[in-house]
Structure 1
Amino acid sequence: MSEPSLSTGAPVSSSSRSGGDDALPVVIIGAGLGGLTVALNLAEQGQKVVVLAKRDLGEAATAWAQGGIVGVLGSDDSVESHVRDTQEAGAGLVDEHTARYIAQNSAQAIEWLVAQGVPFSPDPSGPLGLHLTREGGHAVRRIAHAADATGKAIHEALLARARAHPNVELRARWMAVDLITNRHVKKSDGRPQCHGVYALDIDSGRVETLPARAVVLATGGVGKVYRYTSNPETSTGDGIAMAWRAGCRVANMEFIQFHPTCLYHPQERSFLITEALRGEGGLLRLPGVKLEGDSDDSPWGSRFMPEHDARGELAPRDIVARAIDFEMKKHGLDHVWLDATHLGEAFLKEHFPTIHARCLELGIDIARQPIPVVPAAHYTCGGVVTDLSGRSDLPGLYAVGEATYTGLHGANRLASNSLLECVVLGHSCVDAILQAPVPQPPKLPAWDESLVENADEQVVIAHNWDELRLLMWNYVGIVRTTRRLERALHRIKLLKDEIDDYYANFRVNRDLLELRNLVVCAELIVRSALMRHESRGLHYSRDFPHTLPVSFPTVLTRKAKSR
């Protein structure tokens, strides 16, 4: 397989183009950074694109990203340094080839975003005229950002471009039900192929058959499988579950990153306090606790991170999250403090305006008070196995972003590598789609709901949803044991049977589809965790506390089953 390259937008041959108005579109499931990167670049090449967003177009996980995006730009930086930091954070499971390819293309990714109109925070003396910040696990300042709302700035810029492009059709409040593969086609030639997708118009309740030249999964992660998460409502593992049902491999699902610092407040359960705040000098403290021998005179309590790691607050996320979890349990705390008061009000308002304003709305003046924080499920480091062009095991099916396993994140994602992966591999995915033979579409069957009825027990969905998320939080969280995992798997299988029965007998709706996908992902997480007999990165087991000298990705395989 040839090495993918970051697309420059150069024309492709006429044989690779989609042809006339009746040609098959590429269907992209998800309207975040990965999906929009693919959509805009395909559209520029004359390819018709349909983008499905199951909620409003602005609600993708990308818009929630605060910190920034990695770019190897400064004179004090290098590709080797970025690769080294990625490998160290990934705890021995990072694919070096993947990390190097993405680092090598990081500067071009930033340049492309600038060309799309993304308003990064400026610094006339900085590379490309941009201000660069530093986050945990990075050796130098290499994070391009738009104050503390980088994802929102990126998403709004790309959405504006997509809305204006004649080759892009954006469908808000449409949700993919399942992929259409050979098992749905009566007269199939037997060769595996993704032919399209069944999609639910959430407002009308109608399921439409969408034939496609290719389908791209850009659906994000599985954060909503946990009770506490920094993720938006969209993060229900839809792409991972659909690909698994279609027979694709998934890998490294045990590595769920818990962000160390989510705001602890009864009115705000999903507000992230960016790692960049610690990068700029924020300190973690124990509320009301003074450690023996501590000379710190802060009224907010003692620092504790130096006791856990020499890098203190700038240690990788898995270390910081475990340290917070340990200290909370040790001292019986509901939260810890993130103290940024010493940075000054002017600095905080300039660099962290979103956090400053939101906390102030909730009665917390971060220039004068510490911020109460707890860890929360944040990022899925595993997912659908793909190559560096987004190809999955199923021809015609591609995936980009958090829904994938590419080898970049290993056992723990390095901060701000996620947005970079979306852009770099989004470009190479476009090249792969355009270079693939254009399929001759078979006649696809319409969605059959002739034997189903309207659900009259929605309470069952709500109950199962709550039970699953609490189960995952208590048994499959930051610290795990084999007994907890086995109990979790037993209950998940019972829940899955209940949900599958419900799915088979009632008309689909978004809540049921999301629950169906979440329970699949929960099973994949637990099965992967039970297979790893060591502690590494984001997976910590009390029964296997040591890290093995050599380890490999956890890869799960299944055969596709009929509906």
Structure 2
Amino acid sequence: MNELRCDVLVIGGGAAGSRAAYEAKRSHPQLEVTLVVAGKYGTSGSTNLIASESLGINAPFNYMGDGDDPDVYFQDMLDTGGGLSDPDLCRVIADEACTRVEELMALGLEFDSEAGHPVQRKLSGCTKARSLTCGGATGREIVRVLKKANISIGVQVIEDVRILDLVKDDNGRVCGAVGLNEKKPIFITARAVILATGGAGRIFRKNVNPPSIEGDGWAMAYRAGARLVNMEFFQVGPAVVKPKVQFIIHSHMWRLQPKLTNVHGEEFLKHYCPEGVEVAEVIEAKAMSYPFSVRTVAKYLDIAIFKELMAGRGTLDDGVYFDVTHVEEEVLKQRAPITYDFLKRAGVDLTREKIELGLVVQNFNGGILIDVNGFTGVEGLYAAGEVTGGVHGADRPGGNNLIDTQVFGYRAGRAAAEYALGQKEKSKLPVIVQDMSSELVKPVTEEEQVALQRSADLYYRELTIVRRAEGLRRVLDYISEHKPNNQNNILGNRLLVGQILALAALTREESRGTHYREDFPDSEPAWQQRIIISQGTNGEPAVTADKF
């Protein structure tokens, strides 16, 4: 086993991990900071995808003069979060967002601008225009400038590393991590560890995430003793399934009133709209409600597509037809230039051809419960970005995910570095790690590969748009059947994450935000409490709930 040592280990090379590594090294240059990346630094992770018309980062600069300020921003987060956003975390983001963005700009990040200042756009869940963009490449540009900064100040970067578990010393302190580096076991000791591994979109059959986003961070943190919160809330929404590209359809495209038909050519949305709700109204609402959420009437569109697909009336690529051929080319170029050009390069002319639209898992609101400094409650372990939970609640404003990475990447990096300074000795390689190495390199068997594929299908059907008790129990029964026989860490992590998601969704007997229980369709005041899941004394998930 390859053994490395450092002071601060950051796991994940997206926007959160890059910011955390930068701040840890910048605040204490004498520390050895190591950043491990699942693929190639600058291209791996969800942050680096160009997957929508306008990927933004929120900050209440009020460049557009519509009265935005930190207090308005704070209230938007609480309102959109459905009563489940942590007010302390939201306050930190509201107050520090502008400073963190200004620091990115000082590193060379250039936003879309006009009239001498960056343009800010109003995205879903926002009452003001506060999202800054670099076209559809905002996340990639953030990582680009942070990568350059990290290299310049001496952060060590190791690519092609998939971390699969954390290691604790005899005092219960996280002291490193084990994983695979180009399929060979690697162990890295550290005085402090920061998890920035993103969400778990790849455990679902349909998603817009890169291969490394499988929920390993949650599984590792759970086993280490961290608590997970709001795990029933994650974002699913319309995306292109044919041509085969990873691209989300939101905002301006829906304002063009597209025609939606199933594989039989039937305009189906009207069958799912209740009395008094018009099809045009639902489609218009979708422009300001990208992910599925019960907050607006746009929910009927997502439910309609999902039920058509589940009923077998979708295309071979699990999609419905999305048609804007009635829109003139100049209008498309003006209203949705990135979408038009992206699909044109993929071989589709939207003025002449339909595309196929499906529902994909995109982003998670829940995750590791952290405090305002990214501390997980487990000594030596910090976290930042999508792997964390608490700030977003039942839903989140569009553009909030990227600012979350910068605000809490900043705080987690500095807190972990400060903690590492107080640790006198680097941990020695525990004997148990040598035993773990043989499990890490064990290849996925044919039987386990089948289990991975079946779990992805099951999770997509029962855990995404429409949830019911019987379906959620089917997920739990499947996991119970396969977990005892599991000997592979990759499959084990995926089953554990599925179990946690299903348990959280089954526990919440109401509909709120991105969580829709068809058997409990209404939001209930009694359920304005967070569901927290941690490892029980028997090793199985234990559920608690609390109110702010």
TM range (shorter): 0.7 to 0.9
2:434 paired residue number: 448
For the 8 Å contact 1:194–1:215, the answer to whether it is kept is yes
Q: Which letter does structure 1 place at the counterpart of 2:150?
A: A
- Using the TM superposition, give the Cα deviation of residue 95 of structure 1 relative to its aligned residue in structure 2, in angstroms: 2.1
Partner of 1:34: 16
Please list the CA deviations of residues 429-464 of structure 1 after superposition, one character each: whole Å capped at 9, or x if unmatched: 133223335223342225324995875763223212
Secondary structure of 1:378's aligned partner:
strand
CA displacement, residues 335-373 of structure 1 (integer Å, 9 cap, x when unaligned): 456566788645755785553333113332235555432
The alpha-carbon deviation at position 479 of structure 1 amounts to 0.6
Look up the SS of the partner of 2:17 in the other structure. Answer: helix
Determine which of 10, 15, 33 is the counterpart of 1:49: 33
Higher mean alpha-carbon deviation, 140-149 vs 368-377, is at: 368-377
CA contact (8 A) 1:209 1:445 kept: no
C-alpha distance in 2 between matches for 1:233 and 1:246: 24
Pair 1:425-2:425 in alignment: no
Q: 1:545 to 1:517 in 2, by over 3 A?
A: same
Are the aligned partners of 1:250 and 1:383 in contact in 2 as well (CA < 8 Å)? yes
Tell me, yes or no, if the aligned pair for 1:246 and 1:560 is still in contact at 8 Å. Answer: no
Q: Which residue of 2 aligns with 1:78?
A: 69
Q: How much identity, in percent, do the aligned residues show?
A: 27
- Where do 1:125-274 residues align within 5 Å? 125=116, 129-166=117-154, 168-182=155-169, 188=170, 190=171, 192-203=172-183, 205=184, 207-258=185-236, 260-265=237-242, 267-268=244-245, 271-273=246-248
Q: 3-state SS of the aligned residue for 1:327?
A: helix
Unmatched 5+ stretches in structure 2: 271-276, 540-548
Unaligned runs of 5+ in 1: 1-21, 183-187, 294-301, 504-512
Offset, 1:133: 2.0
For residue 317 of structure 1, what is the aligned residue in structure 2?
Answer: 291
In 2, Cα distance between equivalents of 1:38 and 1:384: 16
Q: Which residue in 2 is equivalent to 1:304? A: 279
Judged with a 3 Å threshold, the aligned counterparts in structure 2 of structure 1 residues 526 and 25 are, in CA distance, closer, same or farther, namely same
Q: Distance in 2 between the 1:157 and 1:451 partners? A: 35
For residues 379-418 of structure 1, the aligned pairs below 5 Å read: 379-405=363-389, 407-418=390-401
Paired with 2:18 and 2:123, the residues of 1 have a C-alpha distance of 26
1:108 and 2:95 aligned = no
Residue 541 of structure 1: SS of its match in structure 2?
Answer: coil
**Which one of the candidate residues 445, 452, 459 is aligned to 1:465?**
452
Q: CA separation in 2, counterparts of 1:416 and 1:474?
A: 28
Q: What's the counterpart of residue 97 of structure 1? A: 88
Shift of 1:303: 7.9
TM superposition shift of 1:560: 7.6
Letter in 1 for 2:201: G
Give the conservation status (yes or no) of the 8 Å contact 2:5–2:190: no
CA distance 1:52–1:451, shift in 2 (3 Å): closer
Task: Please report how far the alpha carbon of residue 413 of structure 1 lies from its aligned counterpart in structure 2 after TM superposition.
Answer: 2.3
Q: Structure 2: how far apart are the matches of 1:113 and 1:351?
A: 28
Q: Secondary structure at the match of 1:448?
A: helix
**1:274–1:98 Cα change, 3 Å:** farther
Q: Which amino acid aligns with 2:135?
A: A
When residues 535 and 48 of structure 1 are mapped into structure 2, their CA distance, relative to the original with a 3 A threshold, is same
Whether the 8 Å contact between 2:48 and 2:140 is mirrored in structure 1 is yes
| 2: CA distance, partners of 1:370 / 1:540 | 29
The one-character-per-residue Cα deviations of 1:278-326 (angstroms, maximum 9, x if unpaired) are: 58x4445323556999xxxxxxxx9825148x84532362237742233
**What's the Cα RMSD here?**
3.0
| 8 A contact 1:283–1:338 mirrored in 2 | no
1:286 aligns with 2:268: no
Q: 1:201 to 1:560 in 2, by over 3 A?
A: farther
d(CA) in 2 for partners of 1:341, 1:365: 9
Distance 1:236 1:160 in 2: 27
The one-letter code sitting in structure 2 at the alignment partner of 1:263 is V
- Number of matched pairs: 504
Q: Check whether the contact 1:71–1:107 (CA below 8 A) recurs between aligned residues.
A: yes
Q: d(CA) in 2 for partners of 1:349 and 1:155?
A: 28
Residues 365, 312 of structure 1: alpha-carbon distance in 2 compared, 3 angstrom cutoff: same
| Deviation for aligned residue 1:411 | 0.7
Partner of 2:466: 479
Q: State the TM-score, normalizing by the size of structure 2.
A: 0.84
Residues 124 and 343 of structure 1: CA distance in aligned 2, closer, same or farther (over 3 Å): farther
1:263 Cα shift? 0.4
1:18 counterpart residue number: none
Corresponding residue number in structure 2 for 1:498? 485
Instruction: Sort the Cα spacing of 1:546 and 1:211 in 2 relative to 1 into closer, same or farther, 3 A.
Output: same
**1:434 pairs with one of 417, 430, 448:** 417
TM-score (norm 1): 0.82
Q: Could you say if the C-alpha distance between residues 196 and 142 of structure 1 is closer, same or farther in structure 2, counting changes exceeding 3 Å?
A: same
Task: Evaluate the alpha carbon distance shift between residue 42 and residue 291 of structure 1 in structure 2; reply closer, same or farther with a 3 A threshold.
Answer: closer
| Partner Cα separation in structure 1 for residue 220 and residue 101 of structure 2 | 31
Quote the residue 2:490 is aligned against. 514
1:133–1:276: 8 Å Cα contact kept in structure 2? Answer: no
CA contact (8 A) 1:261 1:374 kept: yes
Q: CA offset at residue 104 of structure 1?
A: 1.6
* In 1: Cα distance, 2:145 partner to 2:269 partner: 51
CA distance in 2, matches of 1:122, 1:340: 29
Would the alpha carbon gap of residues 458 and 349 (structure 1) be closer, same or farther in structure 2, given more than 3 Å must change? farther
1:232 aligned partner, one-letter code = P
C-alpha contact (below 8 Å) 2:282/2:298 kept by paired residues = no
- Indicate if the aligned counterparts of 1:251 and 1:385 stay in contact, CA closer than 8 A: yes
Deviations 1:189-228 (CA, angstroms, capped at 9, x unpaired): x4x311111232124x1x2331112100000001111110
Residues 36 and 344 of structure 1: CA distance in aligned 2, closer, same or farther (over 3 Å): farther
Q: Which amino acid aligns with 1:365?
A: D
